[in-house]
């Protein structure tokens, strides 16, 4: 086991962990606990950020922050392509959601979680007009009825012809000719978008160039069958205006050429291959092609803004003791406070107690009563199975088994409350008792189990500039190699 890194300065400004012990402790350990816990009523731990953001890359920040930012601006906002443009905002995105008249009422609650009437632009595309006697909810996007697709070929034996209609949503949206659209964003009726983050991600790219942005399936078996080069439709994907323009020109032909492809997203990707535009993968788009409990996936999210979640009716609730919709609402409560930070994963070590603490901000905290290497902490607990065959893998990211034995698991806390404190936030996480079965009775677990609440404070919100810096540093690392 590699030795743990001692605390370093947190590049995202000090987070503090306030560990609040309970007063009710078991007799056996009370002596030990009094000694430990008395000292730790007010402990602060700096976080060690994992992954490629190593210390030396971050150290120059305070000194060169300004020059980096302005250089970066020169690259993206300059007159490189001949036209200066204002920063992308939500008004530049036109959504196209694939729905159906029969099921909209049952599924609209997912869209309505993120849809902001009069702010978000776009339509739900239905197979037919909704029943005359039902008023269309004004919390839903306006609907449009898709054009007839009976003239197209569809030869996939296990799929549905509705894929044709849904593939054409981007074309029908484009042909509406709406003004000031930079991005066409496609999603399913059960896709939950986190739109501040979606905009943050799209704003990194020049919408005057051809971009096709989205994510893969988490299950390798799906990527093997459907393609690694495709943006999965349920996770949502974005197509820049110039690419949409070209796509619209060739789409109907592609639909017939790829008649044997199962899904609408696959037919779109067939066209992209012909145009020659590869998928730009963004790690915040989540198809959620998994079964079981998505906990492990969300508790070890990569360092990237959360853009979408999908298939939430096919996995367990993301919070224990809450139903699926209320669970997503709970996650949205922390997301609203600090959109860029939600689910951002970080960990730190408490060297006075030999604990490893990991946080997926706004969702969960895990405390291991031992020092675990970063490499181990960063890989997701396999609380889920693959989409198609319900197997233990493989996935497109590293996982580790979640043991049934309570002494081989961390102690888990889930978001309880979130409030604003000054420019930052205070999030409180409560220990989850039932969800992960029995508790471990080893002595090293007792002091952790005595911690019923974990408070995490942040002093600022995670600004979009951080993500620009992340890409800037990748660029810098690349340039240094040349």
Instruction: Name the residues that contact ligand NAG, by CB under 6 A.
Output: 18, 20, 79, 82-84, 86, 89-91, 117-118, 131, 133-134, 353-354, 417, 426, 428, 455
Q: Where are the beta strands (DSSP E) in 64-111?
A: 93-98
- Shortest approach of ligand NAG to residue 20 CB, angstroms? 4
Which residue, 199 or 231, is less far from ligand NAG as judged by CB? Answer: 199
- Shortest approach of ligand NAG to residue 194 CB, angstroms? 17
Please name the residues in contact with 123: beta carbons below 8 A apart, sequence gap of 6 or more: 95, 96, 97, 141, 142, 143, 144, 173
- Shortest approach of ligand NAG to residue 468 CB, angstroms? 18
Query: How deeply is 292 buried, as exposed, middle or buried, from its count of CB atoms within 10 A (0-12, 13-18, 19+)?
Result: middle
Which residue, 75 or 225, is less far from ligand NAG as judged by CB? Answer: 75
- Shortest approach of ligand NAG to residue 173 CB, angstroms? 19
- For the record, the structure tokens of 208 come out as 């005057």
* Structural contact between residues 291 and 315, judged by C-beta atoms closer than 8 angstroms: yes
d(CA 116, CA 125): 17
d(CA 76, CA 55): 27
Which residue, 18 or 466, is less far from ligand NAG as judged by CB? Answer: 18
- Shortest approach of ligand NAG to residue 383 CB, angstroms? 26
d(CA 448, CA 411): 7
- Shortest approach of ligand NAG to residue 350 CB, angstroms? 9
* Structural contact between residues 400 and 408, judged by C-beta atoms closer than 8 angstroms: no
Q: Residue 298 half-sphere exposure, CB side, CA atoms within 13 Å?
A: 30
Which residue, 208 or 273, is less far from ligand NAG as judged by CB? Answer: 208
Which residue, 161 or 420, is less far from ligand NAG as judged by CB? Answer: 420
Which residue, 353 or 368, is less far from ligand NAG as judged by CB? Answer: 353
What count of other Cβ atoms lies within 10 Å of the Cβ of residue 55?
A: 12
């Amino acid at each position: 086991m590699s030795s743990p890194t001692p605390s370093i300065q947190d590049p995202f400004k000090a987070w503090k962990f306030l560990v609040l012990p309970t007063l009710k402790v078991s007799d056996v350990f009370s002596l030990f606990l009094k000694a430990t816990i008395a000292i730790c009523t007010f402990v602060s731990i700096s976080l060690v950020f994992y992954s490629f953001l190593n210390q030396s890359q971050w150290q120059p920040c305070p000194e060169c922050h300004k020059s980096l930012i302005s250089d970066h601006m020169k690259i993206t906002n300059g007159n490189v392509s001949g036209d200066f443009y204002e920063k992308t905002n939500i008004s530049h995105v036109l959504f196209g959601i694939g729905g159906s008249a029969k099921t909209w009422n049952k599924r609209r609650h997912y869209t309505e979680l993120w849809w902001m009437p009069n702010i978000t632009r776009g339509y739900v595309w239905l197979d037919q007009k909704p029943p005359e006697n039902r008023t269309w909810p004004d919390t839903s996007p306006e609907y449009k009825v898709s054009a007839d697709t009976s003239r197209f070929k569809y030869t996939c034996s296990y799929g549905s012809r509705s894929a044709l209609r849904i593939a054409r949503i981007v074309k029908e949206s484009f042909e509406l000719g709406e003004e000031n659209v930079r991005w066409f964003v496609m999603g399913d009726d059960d896709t939950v978008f986190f739109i501040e983050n979606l905009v943050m991600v799209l704003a990194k790219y020049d919408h005057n160039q051809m971009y096709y942005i989205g994510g893969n399936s988490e299950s390798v078996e799906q990527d093997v069958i459907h393609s690694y080069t495709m943006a999965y439709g349920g996770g949502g994907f974005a197509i820049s205006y110039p690419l949409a323009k070209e796509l619209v020109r060739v789409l109907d032909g592609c639909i017939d050429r790829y008649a044997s492809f199962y899904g609408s997203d696959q037919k779109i990707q067939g066209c992209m291959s012909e145009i020659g535009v590869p998928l730009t993968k963004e790690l915040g788009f989540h198809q959620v092609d998994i079964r079981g409990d998505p906990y492990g996936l969300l508790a070890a999210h990569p360092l990237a803004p959360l853009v979408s979640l999908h298939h939430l009716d096919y996995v367990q609730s993301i919070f224990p003791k809450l139903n699926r919709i209320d669970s997503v609402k709970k996650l949205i409560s922390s997301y609203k406070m600090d959109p860029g930070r939600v689910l951002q994963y970080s960990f730190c070590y408490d060297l006075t107690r030999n604990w490893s603490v990991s946080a997926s901000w706004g969702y969960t905290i895990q405390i291991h009563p031992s020092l675990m290497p970063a490499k181990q902490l960063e890989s997701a607990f396999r609380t889920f199975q693959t989409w198609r065959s319900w197997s233990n893998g493989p996935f497109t990211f590293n996982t580790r088994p979640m043991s049934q034995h309570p002494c081989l698991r961390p102690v888990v806390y889930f978001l309880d409350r979130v409030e604003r404190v000054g420019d930052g936030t205070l999030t409180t996480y409560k220990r989850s008792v039932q969800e992960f079965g029995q508790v471990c009775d080893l002595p090293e677990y007792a002091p952790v189990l005595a911690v019923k609440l974990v408070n995490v404070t942040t002093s600022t919100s995670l600004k979009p500039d951080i993500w620009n810096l992340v890409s800037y540093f990748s660029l810098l690392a690349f340039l240094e190699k040349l």
